[in-house]
C-alpha cells in the first residue's frame, strides 16, 4: 500500500508541475498570439479592400442586430478613405468539410466584391485547402453584390466563380458564407 501512495504522489507532482508550466507559457504567449491575430486581420482588411485607409468597427447596436439573424458573422468594419466610407469588411465562419472555415470578404459601396481572404480552416490538403489558392479567391473579385454567387468549372458572367475540383463541400461552404455576407450588405449596409 505504501508503494501505491508513493507512486500516486509522484504522479500528482508531475501533473502539477506540467500544469504550472503550461499555465505560465500560456500567460506569456497569449498576448503575442492575440497581437499576431490582430495584425493578420488588419492585413486581410487591407488586402480585400485596398481602397480603405482606415477601418472602424460597425456600430455595436447595428452589429448585434445583424448577428441576431446571422450568428456566423463575427465582425463588420467600415472602410474609409479621405473621410468617406468606401466599403465594408465582413468576417464570418462557415462549416466546410474539415470543420469551421473563418474568412473575410470586402465589399465596396459601389456594390462589388473586392476580395475574400481565408483566415483559418481545417480543409483537406490538396482538395478543400485549395480555397486559399489565388485562382479561387481571385475569382470573387469585382463580382456584383446583386444576385446569388454560384460556382462553375468555367465561370462566366457576373455571378459565377471558379469551382474547386473534388471539393464541392468546401466550395459550397464559402459560397454560403459569401451569399450571406452579400445579403447582409444589401439589406443592412447599402444605403
Query: Over the stretch 57-75, which tens digit does the pLDDT of each residue have?
Result: 999 999 999 999 999 999 9
In a domain, 4, yes or no: no
In a domain, 163, yes or no: yes
Compute the 3-state secondary structure of the chain and give helix, strand, coil in percent, each to the nearest 5.
50, 25, 25
In a domain, 96, yes or no: yes
Whether the model clears a pTM of 0.85, i.e. scores above it, the answer is: no
Per-residue pLDDT reduced to its tens digit, 108-154: 999 999 999 999 898 888 888 889 999 999 999 999 998 899 888 88
Which structural domain, as residue segments, surrounds residue 62? 48-189
In a domain, 13, yes or no: no
- CA-to-CA dists, residue 176 to 4, 30, 75, angstroms: 57, 32, 17
In a domain, 14, yes or no: no
- Residue 1's pLDDT band, with cuts at 50, 70 and 90, is low
pLDDT of residue 64: 95
Q: Is 3 left (phi over 0), alpha (psi -120 to 50) or beta?
A: alpha
Task: Please state, in angstroms and rounded to a whole number, the distance separating the CA atoms of residues 153 and 86.
Answer: 32
CA-wise closest residue to 174 among 126, 131, 110: 131
Residue 160, all three cell numbers:
459565377
Number of domains in the chain: 1
In a domain, 12, yes or no: no
In a domain, 29, yes or no: no
What is the sign, positive or negative, of the torsion defined by CA atoms of 100, 101, 104, 107?
negative
In a domain, 150, yes or no: yes
Strand partners, 89: 77, 106
Amino acid at each position: 500500500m505504501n508503494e501505491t501512495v508513493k507512486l500516486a504522489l509522484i504522479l500528482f507532482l508531475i501533473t502539477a508541475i506540467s500544469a504550472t508550466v503550461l499555465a505560465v507559457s500560456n500567460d506569456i504567449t497569449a498576448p503575442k498570439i492575440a497581437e499576431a491575430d490582430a495584425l493578420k486581420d488588419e492585413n486581410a482588411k487591407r488586402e480585400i479592400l485596398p481602397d480603405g485607409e482606415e477601418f472602424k468597427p460597425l456600430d455595436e447596436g447595428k452589429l448585434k442586430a445583424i448577428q441576431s439573424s446571422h450568428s456566423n458573422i463575427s465582425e463588420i468594419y467600415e472602410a474609409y478613405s479621405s473621410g468617406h466610407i468606401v466599403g465594408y469588411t465582413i468576417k464570418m465562419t462557415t462549416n466546410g468539410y474539415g470543420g469551421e472555415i473563418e474568412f473575410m470578404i470586402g465589399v465596396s459601396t459601389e456594390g462589388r466584391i473586392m476580395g475574400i481572404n481565408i483566415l483559418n480552416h481545417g480543409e483537406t490538403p490538396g482538395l478543400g485547402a485549395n480555397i486559399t489558392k489565388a485562382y479561387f479567391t481571385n475569382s470573387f473579385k469585382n463580382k456584383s453584390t446583386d444576385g446569388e454567387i454560384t460556382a462553375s468549372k468555367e465561370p462566366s458572367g457576373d455571378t459565377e466563380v471558379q469551382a474547386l475540383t473534388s471539393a464541392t463541400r468546401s466550395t459550397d461552404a464559402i459560397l454560403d458564407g459569401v451569399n450571406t455576407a452579400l445579403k447582409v450588405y444589401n439589406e443592412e449596409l447599402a444605403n
